[in-house]
Amino acid sequence: MTRIQLLSKHIVEAIQFVEKNGIPKNRSSKRYFLKFNVKLYPPKYILAKANIYANSYECLPSDFNAIQAKDFIKRLGFEIKDLESELKSDYLQSEIIESNNPEGRVVYKFHRSLERDTRIGRSLKKKTILETGELRCEVCNFSFLDFYGEIGKGFIEAHHLIPVSKLDRVTKTKIKDMVLVCSNCHRMLHTGKKLLSINQLKDLKSCTPLLRQVN
């Protein structure tokens, strides 16, 4: 079995490098992720960068695969997330998960309202964190964690692409029927007589500086 020599401090240095320089698209991970301070990183790429700090060169042995990379990092005491296993265990695959109850069912409280299943929104948030390591607005890219710090960790709103008023009593919502947006964009999507699409709101956002110049 191939052996490489580096320490946990080299992993941290590699993470700091990635935070400054980003991750090339061809070096991303599909299944295993190194979790560090909430965010997720591709283990093999992190190891390659860590090897620079440990041994002055980036290349790992040719037979060093993704499984060996995540096992190596785990032995150093870091947390590893297995996206595929977590998605299966929590039933988060977008083509499988659906709400427990038919949506659009009339519920009487003090006012008449149409019931939504909030479990789907929570599942979308967890799926997004596992895949990207963060929660950002689909319209404006806002992050509550970046802006507010720890209090904003895990916070964002789930927007239904299909208005609840258009649902019947048997429709079941899936993850693919929802997107994550900040509070401001969520309100804007629902402002007006007709529900705006994500792209329509993005177009309005991009036009704003031009409108200011004209006025």
Report if residue 116 sits inside a domain: yes
Are 66 and 135 in the same domain?
no
Question: Counting beta carbons within 10 angstroms of the beta carbon of residue 159, is it exposed (0 to 12), middle (13 to 18) or buried (19 or more)?
Answer: buried
CB-CB contact of 47 with 4 (8 Å): yes
pTM higher than 0.75 for the full model? no
Are 111 and 186 in the same domain?
yes
Are 48 and 145 in the same domain?
no
Are 79 and 125 in the same domain?
no
DSSP assigned state of 61 = P
Q: Say what the pLDDT of residue 174 is.
A: 79
Are 119 and 195 in the same domain?
yes
Are 190 and 101 in the same domain?
yes
- Token pair for 150: 């720890």
Report if residue 190 sits inside a domain: yes
The residue range of the domain holding 73 is: 8-87
CB-CB contact of 6 with 51 (8 Å): yes
Domain end (from 65, 87, 109) = 87
- Token pair for 164: 């609840």
Say if residue 95's pLDDT is above 80: no
Give me the number of domains the chain comprises: 2
Are 135 and 193 in the same domain?
yes
DSSP assigned state of 62 = T
Dump pLDDT digits (tens) for 110-169.
444 444 557 778 888 888 888 888 899 999 999 998 999 888 888 999 998 877 666 655
Dump pLDDT digits (tens) for 13-62.
999 999 999 888 888 888 889 998 878 889 999 999 998 998 888 777 77
Report if residue 133 sits inside a domain: yes
- Token pair for 73: 């990092």
Domain end (from 53, 87, 121) = 87
Say if residue 108's pLDDT is above 70: no
Could you tell me how far CA 146 lies from the centroid of its own chain? Answer: 14
**3-class DSSP state of 84:** helix
Domain end (from 64, 87, 110) = 87
For residue 176, count other CB atoms closer than 10 A to its CB. 11
CB-CB contact of 114 with 99 (8 Å): no
Report if residue 165 sits inside a domain: yes
Dump pLDDT digits (tens) for 164-191.
666 655 566 778 888 999 999 999 998 8
Are 100 and 29 in the same domain?
no
Are 37 and 102 in the same domain?
no
Alpha helix ranges (H) inside the chain = 8-21, 43-55, 66-75, 83-89, 119-132, 144-148, 183-189, 198-214
CA atoms within 13 A on the CB side of 24: 7
Dump pLDDT digits (tens) for 54-67.
888 877 777 778 88
Report if residue 12 sits inside a domain: yes
Task: Measure Cα distances from 177 to 54, 99, 207 in Å.
Answer: 46, 11, 27
Report if residue 3 sits inside a domain: no
Are 74 and 151 in the same domain?
no
CB-CB contact of 107 with 113 (8 Å): yes
Report if residue 178 sits inside a domain: yes
Are 103 and 207 in the same domain?
yes
CB-CB contact of 46 with 14 (8 Å): yes
Signed CA dihedral, 42, 28, 95, 105: sign only: positive
Are 20 and 123 in the same domain?
no
